Homo-oligomer: A and B are copies of this chain.
Amino acid sequence: MADIDPQPQLEELPGGLTAPAGWLAGGVYTGIRSYGPEPRFDLGLLLSERPATAAALFTRNAVVGAPVTLTRERVARGAARALVVNSGNSNVATGAAGDADAERMAELAAAALGVAAADVLVASTGVIGRRLPMDRIEAGIGEIELTREGGAQFARAMMTTDTRPKEQALRVEAGGRSYIVGGAAKGAGMIHPDMATMFGFLTTDAPVERGWLQETLREVTDRSFNMIDVDMDTSTSDMVIALANGAAGGEPIAAGHPAAAPLASAIEAVAVRLARELARDGEGARTLIEVVAEGAASDADARIAARTISASPLVKTMITGRDPNWGRVLMAAGRSGAALDLERTEVWIGEFCAFAQGAPTATPEADISAAMDRDEVQIRIDLGCGEASATAWGCDLTEEYVRINADYTT
């Protein structure tokens, strides 16, 4: 496990993917996204002024889209220059024609950007089983204007049912230099680890050694994007990509480098902030739910307990209704597979302990209800078995979620 500095000095910056030096981006509306509320950006380009070290994680779904196959192959080569993204169509289950469309999309982007097609990564999200409207992509891609502020357009271009773009940027002082880490994410915060496409893209101007970047990205993702309900394991299109172009100068950062821990902390902080925003913007959501599982026998137990609770529809609807039915938390933990010592288990809703020493506490139900009536609700469970802990994020489940998903394509 890479060292992650627990107390890095991080400075918040405006912007996202184009906040680090040497990054440009932009977006355009082409009409790929033929459904939805109103015309908005649906095609975006991200460009590094110099080759960037690339690391990525992809969905583990047995069915993957053509862009996943293409981008996985290209990231394996270790470097990239650009990323083209679209929403409205995921180019999944489209057969050999879909593979050709993804290739063509990279070629069109390469031509527009003046780079080699092999250096362009592709990410698509949206409806499954329909061919991409290549004519619209071809017509629109040349109209994209790349700017230093274009990260915001790019973040919008990949939105599906997101109600707002998600961008973050942080500056970190590390090893005597200053680096910036930027990021953007999209995802609909489905009510259950399912097939909602989640994109998490991270850029930095730090120079990095590729193996270190890949390992850091894996660890960071396990504590951020993998701990929200939009589960990258399960969509056909999910990707988390980190691109480091070294524009800030210095020697490549790898394990043991004095900047490694602070930079990793900055990457994690950007990823966690984006993950929380994804959960908060879950389809139809009104409340961000943070679940802390502690006292677990192992990290794996802590993770599965926190995730099971945060993904439980009954826990979600408990929060929706501000219903002091905390037994649902206990039950979700019980079915998670994590070891649990009931006599030592404690369940907390906000600052109130609802269950301890094997029985309900005397906390009035009205207090527990009131603790749920907030924009952010923390649920905490101590499993009474050890020292491990983990944090997961989710959102409440509202009638609006059902409305959104019952009318997705129509």
Q: What is A's interface to B at a CB cutoff of 8 Å?
A: 60-64, 92-98, 127-130, 190-192, 194-196, 233-236, 312-314, 317-318, 320-321, 323-328, 330-335, 337-340, 342, 354-355, 357-360, 369, 397-399, 401-403, 405-410
Q: A61-B334, A95-B359 are in contact. Are A194 and B354 (CB under 8 A)?
A: no
Contact of A330 among B63, B312, B334, B338 (CB under 8 A): B63
Bound complex: CA A94 to CA B361 (Å)? 10
By DSSP majority rule, is chain A's interface helix, strand, loop, or mixed? Answer: loop
The answer to whether A314 touches B63 (Cβ under 8 A) is no
Contacts of A335 in B (CB 8 A): 60-62, 194-195, 233-235
Q: A128-B328, A190-B314, A331-B235 are in contact. Are A323 and B63 (CB under 8 A)?
A: no
The answer to whether A405 touches B317 (Cβ under 8 A) is yes
Instruction: List 18 interface pairs A-B (beta carbons < 8 Å), by A numbering.
Output: A61-B331, A61-B334, A62-B338, A63-B333, A63-B342, A95-B359, A98-B359, A129-B360, A194-B313, A194-B331, A235-B335, A236-B330, A318-B405, A318-B406, A320-B406, A323-B406, A323-B410, A369-B410
The answer to whether B194 touches A95 (Cβ under 8 A) is no
Contacts of A127 in B (CB 8 A): 325, 327
The answer to whether B95 touches A358 (Cβ under 8 A) is yes
Contacts of A330 in B (CB 8 A): 63, 92-93, 128-129, 236
The answer to whether B405 touches A402 (Cβ under 8 A) is no
Contacts of A63 in B (CB 8 A): 330-331, 333-334, 340, 342
The answer to whether B402 touches A195 (Cβ under 8 A) is no
Contacts of A317 in B (CB 8 A): 402, 405-406, 408
Contacts of A130 in B (CB 8 A): 360
In the complex, what residue of chain B is closest to A338 when comparing beta carbons?
B62
Q: 5 closest pairs, A vs B, by CB?
A: A128-B327, A321-B406, A63-B334, A95-B359, A317-B405
Chain B CB count within 10 A is highest, among A321, A358, A403, A407, for A321
The smallest C-beta distance from A286 to any residue of chain B, in angstroms, reads 11
Q: A409-B323, A410-B323 are in contact. Are A97 and B342 (CB under 8 A)?
A: no
Bound complex: CA A127 to CA B328 (Å)? 9
